[in-house]
Amino acid sequence: MITIDANGRPINARPGEMLLDALRRAGLSVPTLCHVEGLPPSGACRMCVVEVEGQRALVPSCALPVSEGMKVRTHSPRALRARKTIVELLLANHPDDCLYCVRSGACRLQDLAEELGVRQRRYGGARTASKVDTSSPSIIRDPDKCILCGKCVRVCEEVQGVSAIDFHGRGSRTRVSTAFDEGLNVSSCINCGQCILACPTGALREQSHVKEVLAALDDPKKFVVVQHAPAVSVTLAEEFGLKPGTDIAGQMTAVLRGLGFQRVFDASLAADLTVMEEASELVDRLRSGGRLPMMTSCSPGWIKLVEQAYPDFIENLSTCKSPQQMLGALVKSYFAERQSLDPAQIFSVSVAPCTAKKFEAERPEMARGGAADVDAVLTTRELAQIIRMRGLDVGALAPGPADSPLGERSTAGKLFGASGGAAEAVLRTLHFMLTGKELEQPRMPALRGPKGLKETRVRIGDLDLGVAVASGLASARRLLEDIREGRRRDLQFIEVMTCPGGCVAGGGQPLGAGPEAVEARMQALYRIDRDERVRTAHGNESVGRLYREYLGRPLSNRSRKLLHTRYARRDVVL
């Protein structure tokens, strides 16, 4: 360690690290607009400028390596004046619609204007009147609110490996846009929403389904059901000021009933179904010489990437639908028949951590008879908005269980919320299918945690199974390139989650969460798996009953009709 002087106080720093990181670790808050944690600094916004003894100009702390004996003033009058001027210039041509903006109260630019005492418009700039891009089923792009920080561009390119957006033009005409300024719907965008999490303003937001859901809840002719994804119960609490990683599954169920949903189902049960079908499909491929490695198919952003960029791997994808779509299909078939309901009367809502689930629900393959299996998808943020609109207190309601027959889950299904969880769940059931015995050590530390690429080998009888887990599509792309070039022939099963860390860090999750919050969400899921009794999909009695009463067995004709799908090559603009 080395020692630097920050505002007259000695602090420890690691040799070679950036000054901003050392200052923040020491409890000194230095503002940024362009900094993306985990990526190399760009120094574009200059909000983090500080005074360094011996330097004539202010220096961006995000791009300055520390050195022994460095003396820094983080909040000198000169640094504060520079930051305030930057914010005033950004506001010069920014829309004055904060009262109506979806990010009001959660806008970094707004926060900095308050923090730095900006109380009037000192500079006037030419206002633009760009067209709002609403073409995507998942994401809305409002160019007038863009401050050109570049965070969305960097996340899309460096974290996700997609590069659907980039800087266009020069000087005052610079803007962030898609190739040829086409709509997001025909671009290479995979709908993951990581750009929304990165954006400091309201330039990017999800395509809201709040209006449609409220209309259905207020329609006496509709039978409205809701399912919630595995990761939602350990993230929703953050929207109401509770600590990251707080599991409020029971309270959330009570709140959903209080909102007027007539049935509350747990999509973790459908994750158990996914495990049963996926494990059976893997067994079939291993025995019949099918296409390997088999790759999971529960993450819709990943599926779109394969369709548009790696169509030669489409046959490697499992044919299983995602848990959301499996449950949606069962709600309008199995559940409707049990309740003597016309499927057209049912309005099926999914609460998901993911903006790409909105895209998935609108895929033509996810409809039967012209009617979608899932009618609307709410992000975690949108659910919180509805709860606040309807005046419900999450903490004041008595917890309740999800509804039968689609509400009882195992902890294996719950693990789908974290990267590696789907693979771990499948391996537990695969072992039982092949040996008739449970895994002695069902928990697999090698597949847990936020790392972008994880691997392990699992011995099941005479079978030595190579397993890889990728989260964040840049990691997935590197793995696919290795397989395509023949460098990886040792894998039989691959799990891919679109978002880094998995669904706990999905594009529909609460804003402003850092790596610590994502880790806390993961740990909450691991605690559930540790503390509860039913830890395998094949041990879930509700899943067994569903097969006995309706589906028959995994990969049966009815299972294939309701729980499986197909994928095809997709052409997009660059």
Sequence-separated (6 or more) residues with CB below 8 Å from residue 564: 277, 319, 320, 321
The tokens for 351 are 């609460």
68 as an active site residue: the answer is: no
d(CA 232, CA 115): 32
- Residue 183 · residue 133 · CB < 8 Å: yes
Q: Which of 76, 68, 563, 128 is nearest to 320 (CA)?
A: 563
The beta-carbon contacts of 307-314 under 8 Å, at least 24 apart in sequence, are 307/567, 307/568, 307/569, 307/570, 308/188, 308/569, 308/570, 308/571, 308/572, 309/188, 309/477, 310/480, 310/484, 311/569, 311/570, 312/484, 313/480, 313/483, 313/484, 314/567, 314/568, 314/569
d(CA 261, CA 227): 10
Strand partners, 60: 49
Strand partners, 317: 295
Residue of 280, 297, 299, 318 marked active site: 318
SS3 at position 531 = helix
> Please, what sign has the CA dihedral across residues 350, 356, 360, 361?
positive
d(CA 25, CA 16): 15
SS3 at position 217 = helix
Strand partners, 470: 453, 496
The tokens for 241 are 């000021």
481 as an active site residue: the answer is: no
d(CA 539, CA 534): 6
d(CA 383, CA 378): 6
Residue of 151, 304, 321, 357 marked active site: 357
499 as an active site residue: the answer is: no
- Residue 176 · residue 167 · CB < 8 Å: yes
CA distances for 230 relative to 97, 132, 266, 383, 415, angstroms: 36, 33, 8, 15, 7
Amino acid at 301: G
Helix (H) or strand (E) holding 358: helix 356-361
357 as an active site residue: the answer is: yes
195 as an active site residue: the answer is: no
CA-only gyration radius of the chain, Å: 25
131 as an active site residue: the answer is: no
Residue of 238, 281, 495, 519 marked active site: 281
Amino acid at 7: N
- Residue 516 · residue 244 · CB < 8 Å: yes
Q: Chain-centre distance of CA 464, in angstroms?
A: 32
495 as an active site residue: the answer is: no
Strand partners, 493: 294, 467
Residue of 34, 199, 298, 320 marked active site: 298
Residue of 238, 307, 360, 519 marked active site: 360
360 as an active site residue: the answer is: yes
Sequence-separated (6 or more) residues with CB below 8 Å from residue 171: none
Q: What is the dihedral of CA 187, 192, 194, 200, to 10 degrees?
A: 70
Residue of 382, 475, 503, 519 marked active site: 503
User: In this structure, what DSSP letter does residue 133 have?
Assistant: B
Q: Annotated active-site positions, please?
A: 278, 281, 298, 318, 357, 360, 365, 503
